[in-house]
Amino acid sequence: MALNGLGSMGGMSGIAGIAAWDPAGAAPFRARPGMGKRLARLARDIRDVHTVRGKMSLVHAELRGGSRVRGLRQWCDAARGAAIGPADMRHLLGRLVPGASLPVQARVFARVAQAYCASAGIEHLAALRRRLPGAAPDTDGRAAWTPASDAARAACATFRAMVDARLARDTLVMPLRQIVQALPATADARAVAFRDGTALDIACARLAASLHRAAYDGLASALLAAALDQLSHAERRMLAQHLMPSRPDARRVLDPADCAMSQALRRMQPSSDLWQRRLHLIEELQTAMQQVAGQRLDYFVHTTARLIDFRLAQGDRCQAVYELAFASLTRTLETVGDAGVLERGGHATLAPRLIAAALLGKPLKDVLAFVSRLDIPTLGTLLLAMEGAAPEYAGAAALIRGVRDDKVRGYRDPLAGRLRDVQDALAAGSRWPIAHRLHALARAVDAWQQNCAPGGQEIPHSIARDLHATVRKAMDALSLDPAGPVSVLGRASIEVLCGSEAECLRLAEPALQPYGLRLDRAALEAVAADRAGPHIAMTLEHLHALVDLLAQENAEPARIVQALRDGTECLAAACARYASFIDMSADDTLRLCTRIAGEAWRGFADRQPDRGAVARAALRSACPALDQALNDAAAPLIQDLDEDRPRDGDWGRDPATHAVRRLRLASHLMAAFGAVCRLDGEEAVGGADARPFDWSPPWCEAIAGQFGVYHDPRGGQAGLVMSPAQQDVFARLLLDDELAPDRIVDYSVSTAAGTVIVPIDAQLLMDGIQRTGSRFSVSGVDRDGRYVAYTDCTPLAGETSHVPGVERALLALHRLAGPDTPMLTTYLTQTASAGFMFGLSALGEQGPIRMDDGLAVMPGGLARTHADIRRMADGSYVLRINPVWYRLDTATASDGSSAVKLDPRRSFASLACDVRLSRGPDSRWRPDVVSPLMIRCHMVPADT
């Protein structure tokens, strides 16, 4: 085996290696290690000496354990009757563990003392405990325990704790558990009043007797603390609940007469002397409970500090670290259950105190770095917890208070600034700045209430006083009540507001209501219904057409979805009007859809009662399928939505938002129609009149053509017809500059008060009056702050020409816009439509309007321009420009190389977007596209 262990050198092959070795080139041979190796080995030996000596000392202690215990017993007997001092403890250590190091002394002494306490008698231990330091007032002073005697002091503390634990276990634990068993399950007054206190009184008498035998006044608290430490968490929690103060205003000072336990015992004590004894026992229990809980809290502070350091090192936010520490401490304190004897609020107020203690053990710069990232309520909680801190922590408390005050200043200064803005608007007297700045002021007040008020910070008295006065003046400025100042803005004041003004005031009301801003809810609802009324009427017309198409046997899917899309767009406008005046939740939208669907169905049934059964069957078949299909088309786009409205013209992702909202609204309408039919009809679904719904590719094409979303029902995929990048290109090129009329003409309109001259673009005279190529509507706030109701070009009953309707709309536009009328009329003509065509042509072969073979085309011929003009309260205008090609007979390739003939009976196209006109610094009108381009088309070749 020895040879095998040598490897290759153990065989004959090693001889050649030996023969080839050159001794001249070898280093000199040394029998002993070099200096470096000897020093390293010496260092290892020295490092292991302490461990080896300690282990040998412990082994030696185990082997001589009996003799050491006898030595300790002899020492105790020799010192009987005399107080034990530092010299006695040093003598004892030298006798039991001579010549050992301090750690070894402590470990050996602990084992010897443990063995001694386990075998000694109770009377002997009680007598010994009275002579140990801490049993009575320190007569010789703590100065005797000098730093040189730290080992003796530690040994004395260890010995004292072991003696206390043994005395408590044999004399006090059982009476304490009997007290816990006699307590009611809860500490409320009713449970205490109806509970028989006899068993509790007997248990207290046993505890008092045991305590008297084991100790006297100077020892009772220590022994009780040792006994409490041996109870379970549940037992200690039960006892703590009945020792806590019962008065809500009690804090740290414990009153033995003000707890559930004393209330339970009060009725059982006929003599005042016996009652005072029970109160004294309760006081001793409260003191011991505080001592036990306080010792445990030192551990909690240490672990909390380590938790904070660890989580910060992991990169967590300071606020999240604080909340984690608070939650961890809360759970632990709830488990322990005795926190209430230290703090009346229990863990809710004790946990911040412990976190503050953990922070105060760190350098001030680290405390500042941590607290500077906490919110104001948390800082207020920490400051409240530091009120009882030691004087040396006053610097940290002042530091945190400075951080808190600086954060509060970040909310106080904007609040004061918004208040001054409202006061400036009141001095100017314009209604829109008042409403707009009241909304900004409300946001500042709400920010204070959300961030500062939870931390105990109230709005400064001077600012609160100015808030009351300013809001009162704003109410007077906004009120149009002839009776004078009012406390609530009524209908007379609300109906003159535009939607943006009403929305600002409505959103400001919750925060400013305590300061006097109030709006009449009934008036808001009434005005909202009036503003939405014209759009609901148009929605009903389109839904009537929808029901009529569904009732037809072979209605084209494109026409059905077109009618649904028309109704959806009008309903969206109605919802927007409602949302300006009232809170429009999803449930409110569903209720509105149900009401409109019911009115549409009843209107159709009244006009065509003979087709009611067929229409009902068609709706009950088509509505569930269309509802599901529209939801399926919207679902893949939801993950790309941004809930916030786009700002500053950046709506790159808003096309998906717009498409999903329209799809969902159309889905609500179809679901409402289905519900109305189920409620109104008696036939079961799938009855004799019901016919199956044929879901086919033409329906997918119809959804893409009307809602701008490609949808594959089998693959569950959807995409936008026009991508956000294409929307950006179109928006840049649509209206890159102000449109100005080439020639202005004065158009005379006859009214009951006389002739009114309206200056308009000469092109509108041809497009809108001489022809029927322009239709528009007008609404908003005029230059004097008066509201101009919705007015459109629709002819009234009995009118055979379109001109009277156009003249009514022109009068409304002239009253609304004044000198801006000629400029606005340019946007009602073919000039604006040409801008849409220019934007589409820039997309080239990637254009969104395509034939079945994929060829990108643009509508050919002249379009009818539909427009809606709204003047906003800030003087800007929002225009919905909508060129429409009815009976479209030709389309042009995007590159202009060819033309495609279309079926004019089935083909149409519609382009629409919203444009905001606002004055720039140079007083020129600047157009900004504020909505995605909405493309609706159906291109059918002529030979199809």
Distance CA 43, CA 470 (A): 82
- The whole-number pLDDT of residue 125 equals 78
Degrees to nearest 5, angle at CA 565 with 562 and 566 = 85
Distance CA 793, CA 768 (A): 10
Distance CA 872, CA 528 (A): 17
Beta bridge mates, 751: 754
- The whole-number pLDDT of residue 176 equals 87
SS3 content of the chain, % helix, strand, coil (to 5): 65, 10, 25
- The whole-number pLDDT of residue 792 equals 92
Burial letters 796-813, b for 16+ CB under 10 A, else e: eeeeeebbebbbbbbbbb
- The whole-number pLDDT of residue 694 equals 56
- The whole-number pLDDT of residue 459 equals 94
Q: What is the 3-state secondary structure (H, E, C) of 589-618?
A: HHHHHHHHHHHHHHHHHHHCHHHHHHHHHH
At 862, which helix (H) or strand (E)?
none
Residues 6+ away with beta carbon under 8 Å from 815: 782, 788
pLDDT over threshold 70, residue 878:
yes
- The whole-number pLDDT of residue 341 equals 59
pLDDT over threshold 60, residue 646:
no
Of the listed ranges 399-408, 711-720, 815-824, 896-905, the one predicted with least confidence: 711-720
What's 735's DSSP letter? Answer: -
pLDDT over threshold 60, residue 503:
yes
Of the listed ranges 73-82, 153-162, 715-724, 809-818, the one predicted with least confidence: 73-82
- The whole-number pLDDT of residue 144 equals 45
- The whole-number pLDDT of residue 924 equals 87
Predicted confidence band at 797 (pLDDT cuts at 50, 70, 90)? confident
> 400, 398, 384, 204: which is closest to 284 by C-alpha?
204
- What share of the chain in percent tops pLDDT 70? 80
- The whole-number pLDDT of residue 465 equals 95
- The whole-number pLDDT of residue 426 equals 94
Tokens 């030595």 -> residue: 71
pTM of the model: 0.74
pLDDT over threshold 50, residue 229:
yes
Summarize pLDDT for 558-612 with one digit per residue, the tens: 999 999 999 999 999 999 999 999 998 889 999 999 999 999 998 888 888 888 8
Distance CA 362, CA 265 (A): 47
Distance CA 361, CA 353 (A): 13
Domain ranges of the chain: 53-136+150-170, 172-361, 406-519, 523-715, 732-938
- 9, with CB counted inside 10 A (0-12, 13-18, 19+), is exposed
> 871, 877, 886, 771: which is closest to 829 by C-alpha?
771
Across the range 79-103, mean pLDDT stands at 70
Across the range 122-147, mean pLDDT stands at 59
Of the listed ranges 726-735, 775-784, 914-923, the one predicted with least confidence: 726-735
- The whole-number pLDDT of residue 416 equals 96
- The whole-number pLDDT of residue 8 equals 34
Q: Which amino acid is at 513?
A: Q
Three-state DSSP state, 869:
strand
pLDDT over threshold 90, residue 475:
yes
- The whole-number pLDDT of residue 33 equals 63
Tokens 């979303």 -> residue: 709
Predicted confidence band at 32 (pLDDT cuts at 50, 70, 90)? low
Summarize pLDDT for 320-378 with one digit per residue, the tens: 999 999 999 888 887 776 555 566 544 567 788 888 888 888 888 888 899 999 999 99
- 597, with CB counted inside 10 A (0-12, 13-18, 19+), is buried
- The whole-number pLDDT of residue 501 equals 94
| Residue 551 CB coordination number (10 Å) | 19
Summarize pLDDT for 264-301 with one digit per residue, the tens: 787 666 677 888 888 888 888 888 887 887 777 888 88
Predicted confidence band at 58 (pLDDT cuts at 50, 70, 90)? low
In this structure, are residues 350 and 339 in contact, taking their beta carbons and an 8 Å threshold? yes
pLDDT over threshold 90, residue 921:
no
- The whole-number pLDDT of residue 688 equals 40
- The whole-number pLDDT of residue 756 equals 92
- The whole-number pLDDT of residue 861 equals 84
Across the range 103-119, mean pLDDT stands at 77
Of the listed ranges 82-96, 223-237, 341-355, 861-875, the one predicted with least confidence: 341-355
> 360, 361, 370: which is closest to 320 by C-alpha?
370
In this structure, are residues 834 and 842 in contact, taking their beta carbons and an 8 Å threshold? no
pLDDT over threshold 80, residue 877:
yes
In this structure, are residues 839 and 733 in contact, taking their beta carbons and an 8 Å threshold? yes
Of the listed ranges 7-21, 255-269, 512-526, the one predicted with least confidence: 7-21
pLDDT over threshold 60, residue 55:
no
Distance CA 816, CA 785 (A): 10
- The whole-number pLDDT of residue 909 equals 93
Degrees to nearest 5, angle at CA 490 with 486 and 496 = 115
Distance CA 39, CA 324 (A): 50
Query: Which range, 17-31, 614-628, 802-816, 882-896, has the best average confidence (pLDDT)?
Result: 802-816
pLDDT over threshold 50, residue 140:
no
- The whole-number pLDDT of residue 4 equals 33
- What share of the chain in percent tops pLDDT 90? 35
- Please give the residue that has the higher pLDDT: either 713 or 540: 540
Summarize pLDDT for 402-441 with one digit per residue, the tens: 999 999 999 999 999 999 999 999 999 899 999 999 999 9
Question: Around 724, how many Cα atoms within 13 Å sit in the side-chain half-sphere?
Answer: 14
- Please give the residue that has the higher pLDDT: either 655 or 49: 655
Backbone angles phi, psi at 77, to 5 degrees: -70, -35
- The whole-number pLDDT of residue 187 equals 57
Pairing of strands 774-781, 754-761: unpaired
Residue 842: both structure tokens together: 């820039």
Distance CA 506, CA 519 (A): 7
In this structure, are residues 727 and 933 in contact, taking their beta carbons and an 8 Å threshold? yes
- The whole-number pLDDT of residue 88 equals 74
Residue 355: both structure tokens together: 């976190």
Across the range 664-669, mean pLDDT stands at 93
- The whole-number pLDDT of residue 684 equals 41
Mean pLDDT for all residues in the chain: 81
